[in-house]
Structure 1
Amino acid sequence: MSGKHTVLHDPHGLIEAELPLDRAPYEALVTAVLAWKNPDLEPCDYEQIALQLTGHARAVATDVRRHAAALPKNDGRGALAEIVLREAAGRLSVPLEGTARCAQNRARLVRALYTRLDRLTEALPAAP
């Protein structure tokens, strides 16, 4: 194999927009994390879980933003999406900690973003 590689330039995220989110494993992770009562994990494990949830939250937020942009400007669902996205940006700007609380907060964020995404995708008319 040669050392050649191709650099993909997709500044508008069009390729990513065509790929569906792998939702099931993250929903299972969210459910598990939110069910914790007194977990006894190492701080690095909590941080790794929070990191996974952070990355997925960013991907879901991108989907929410894309779907909201497709709505008419006077549609209230788009305004609600913007509120959720602003809150998500604020929560994602908080540094990660190696705690159960941090991981659970990221899990709640992923759940909230999926709730908004579901409402937006229900709102969009079917393609002809």
Structure 2
Amino acid sequence: MFGLIKNKSTAYSKFWSVETLDYNYILVIVTTSSRREAKMIVRRLLDEKLIACANIAGSVSSLFWWNKKVESAEENVVLMKTRLDLFEKLSETVKALHSYQVPEIIALPIVKGSKQYMDWLDSYLK
């Protein structure tokens, strides 16, 4: 997909040009040690209107470096939709509630979305 950006002569280059991208909205990815922890974090973020919705995916097998060793764990992946301006408060809240010393908190830009969905999303955020 990103190879399309390099070719300015394609019809895709206009769609993916910097001028057309709107990074006001983000998808935040967090992994948790359990579904219970995921639900607890999501509930708090919803209550504080820091996210409009979240999807909690089933158990995934994660492999990662920790203390100079490769470790593995079963985790839950949480996908949350919010605005970029709420990321810092969201991140602080997740860190305060999370059981990990270094929780995964990653934000990706939502490049495009339907107007109706984005309006709905915005209506439930601070």
TM-score between the two structures when normalised by the length of structure 1:
0.27
- Which of the two has greater strand per residue? 2
